[in-house]
């Protein structure tokens, strides 16, 4: 069974631009969560989706948004990029809430 | 919210040595996972261990849920064990899948 996939793997943007990251969960998994990893803040929870509904959101500004499609694939969007948004963005999927979570390879975003 | 503390923050070992990594939680969790982050950034699942003991090859983990801690044991370490180890927990009482991560243990295994 294929693992969690994320695209693109690397991305370079400039301040003020917007970006969309994509995550395809393991087949059959319905819960998708997003995390941001930076050297200063570590791994932080962004948001969580289940059945196309956002179930929880971390402490991030409204520039960070996401959605989940009927096939459980998820996208996250960051608008008006800032230098501090440079990070590794990780997506995780699980069968349902409460199960073991599996992570994708991540998207490394650099904002110049 | 839940606070996760990992120790030690850094660890240097000679190949063949054993080590124990610890994870303490400020509140009860009903999901606890250990990960190894590879050099490319991906989090590799080691254990899903809300309670009890599990073993996988040279690695084993024990979670004592009532005392809010978990231990990861690495025996006969190899250079390929190097990297960052994270523990993370979640409490589903609030109907969330949100994992709270520790700050990690950076392990370096020298030949």
Across the range A44-68, mean pLDDT stands at: 94
Chain centroid to Cα B7, Å, comes to 10
At A96 the pLDDT is: 78
What is d(CA A106, CA A4) in angstroms, rounded to the nearest whole number? Answer: 9
Q: How confident is the model at residue A97 (pLDDT cuts 50, 70, 90)?
A: confident
Read off the tokens for A20: 């969309």
Confidence of residue B30 (pLDDT cuts 50, 70, 90): confident
Give me the torsion for CA of B93, B96, B97, B98, rounded to 10°. Answer: -100
Check CB contact of B43 with chain A, cutoff 8 Å.
yes
Of A48, A102, A105, the CB nearest to B96: A48
Q: Are A83 and A21 in contact (CB under 8 A)?
A: no
B2 touches chain A (CB under 8 A): no
Report whether pLDDT(A99) > 90.
Answer: no
- From B33, B43, B96, residue closest to A90, measured CB to CB: B43
Residue B66 pLDDT > 60: yes
- On average, the pLDDT of chain A sits at 95
Tokens of B39: 């050099």
Contact B40 A33 (CB under 8 A): no
Give residue B2's pLDDT. Answer: 86
Kindly report the number of other CB atoms within 10 A of residue B5's CB atom: 13
The pLDDT value recorded for residue A2 is 86
pLDDT at position A30: 93
**Which of A3, A47, A93, A101 to mutate against chain B (most B CBs within 10 Å)?**
A101
pLDDT tier, B95 (very low <50, low <70, confident <90, very high otherwise):
low
Q: Is A93 on the interface with B (CB under 8 A)?
A: no
Report DSSP state, residue B40: T
């Amino acid at each position: 069974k294929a693992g969690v996939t994320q695209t693109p793997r690397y991305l370079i943007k400039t301040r003020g631009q917007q970006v969309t990251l994509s995550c395809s969960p393991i087949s059959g998994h319905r819960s998708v969560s997003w995390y941001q990893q930076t050297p200063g803040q570590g791994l932080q929870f962004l948001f969580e989706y289940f059945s196309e509904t956002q179930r929880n959101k971390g402490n991030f500004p409204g520039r960070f948004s996401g959605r989940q499609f009927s096939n459980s694939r998820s996208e996250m969007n960051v608008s008006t990029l800032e230098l501090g948004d440079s990070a590794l963005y990780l997506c995780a999927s699980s069968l349902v809430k409460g199960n073991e979570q599996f992570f994708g390879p991540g998207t490394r975003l650099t904002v110049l | 919210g839940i606070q996760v503390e990992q120790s030690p923050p850094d660890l240097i070992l000679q190949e063949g040595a054993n080590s124990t990594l610890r994870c303490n939680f400020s509140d009860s969790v009903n999901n606890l996972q250990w990960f190894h982050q590879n050099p490319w950034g991906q989090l590799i699942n080691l254990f899903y261990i809300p309670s009890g003991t599990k073993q996988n090859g040279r690695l084993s983990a024990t979670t004592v849920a009532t005392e809010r801690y978990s231990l990861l044991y690495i025996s006969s370490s190899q250079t390929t064990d190097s990297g960052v180890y994270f523990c993370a927990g979640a409490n589903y009482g609030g109907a969330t899948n949100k994992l709270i991560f520790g700050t990690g243990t950076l392990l370096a295994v020298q030949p």
